[in-house]
Amino acid sequence: MAAPLRLTLMGATGRMGRALIEGILDAPDLELAGALTRSDDPLLGVDAGSFVGRAVLGVEFGVDIAAAVAACDVVVDFSRPAATLAVVEACRARNRAIVVGTTGFDSAQAERLAAAARSIALCQAANFSIGVNVCLGLLALATPALGPTYDVEIVEAHHRHKVDAPSGTALAMGRAVAAAAGTTLEAAAVYGRQGNTGERPAGKIGFAAVRGGDVVGDHTVMFLGDGERVEISHRASSRTTFAGGALRAARWLARQPAGRYDMRDVLGLK
């Protein structure tokens, strides 16, 4: 029997971290090798197994990035952009693959990720749900079929603790629509409206973000035409779907050469 794939988690004490730890413990082919968190986290030093109500693992939440990366085969990161970039540099130093689920990168940070992918295997996705990635494929089909007379609006809702808006998934959906329409999100996006905005310009992609409660993640892309409306929606009821997709990506990425990949590569949708 092959040795388990050793994984280190960054952002291990967060909501996704908890789901990932549980997913790893339930998978006989995976092993939790490291669990990283921020230096001011009150859970620092707590055993990861105890954190999820399981047996003690001997893997404590820590801040030693170099040691945790050295101990694993693949890093899975759901944290903040600055923390992700620090882990990516450690992965480059140790030639480790990394799955990046962090969102909210600015253009300079995104360029650093792209540069890192020239020397290590890096899989980045705004959303690791299989259903969301199928929706992205449907958007690529629907946009040219419906044509430019249909106005596009994207509405997303998340829990009150989410810090970035629009969500990374909403932006990915916007990019899928823009690419299928022959433009870019930078040229087409409208982020919120207030006051006397005038009539809606043609060809724009509108975004609206809702924050509140414990909503895991709802996304709807509306194609609004004269006399009809087409909606492509995805609603997540549990983070286990994201964790399962991220772990599937880690298994796949461990066998890949250096390069930049996304969830469509993992699922064979390209």
Structural domains present in the chain:
5-124+239-267 (3.40.50.720), 130-236 (3.30.360.10)
Per-residue pLDDT tens over the stretch 170-215? 999 999 999 999 999 999 999 999 999 999 999 999 999 999 999 9
Q: Is 270 an annotated catalytic residue?
A: no
Q: What is the pLDDT of residue 1?
A: 66
Q: Are 18 and 235 in contact (CB under 8 A)?
A: no
pLDDT single digits (tens) 124-152: 998 899 899 999 999 999 999 999 999 99
Q: Among this protein's residues, is 159 annotated catalytic?
A: no
Distance CA 198, CA 1 (A): 65
More confident residue, 13 or 241: 13
Catalytic residue among 159, 162, 204, 219: 162
If one counts every other C-beta atom within 10 angstroms of the C-beta of residue 66, the result is: 12
What's the whole-model pTM score? 0.79
> How far is it, in rounded angstroms, from Cα 80 to Cα 86?
10
The continuous run of DSSP H or E covering 179 comes out as helix 168-180
| H or E segment to which residue 8 belongs | strand 5-10
Q: Which two tokens stand for residue 244?
A: 């399962």
pLDDT of 97 above 70? yes
If pLDDT is split at 50, 70 and 90, which confidence band does 113 have?
very high
Catalytic residue among 158, 161, 234, 270: 158
Q: pLDDT digit string (tens) for 16-57?
A: 999 999 999 999 999 999 999 999 999 999 999 999 999 999
**How confident is the model at residue 110, as a pLDDT?**
95
The average confidence (pLDDT) of the chain is 96
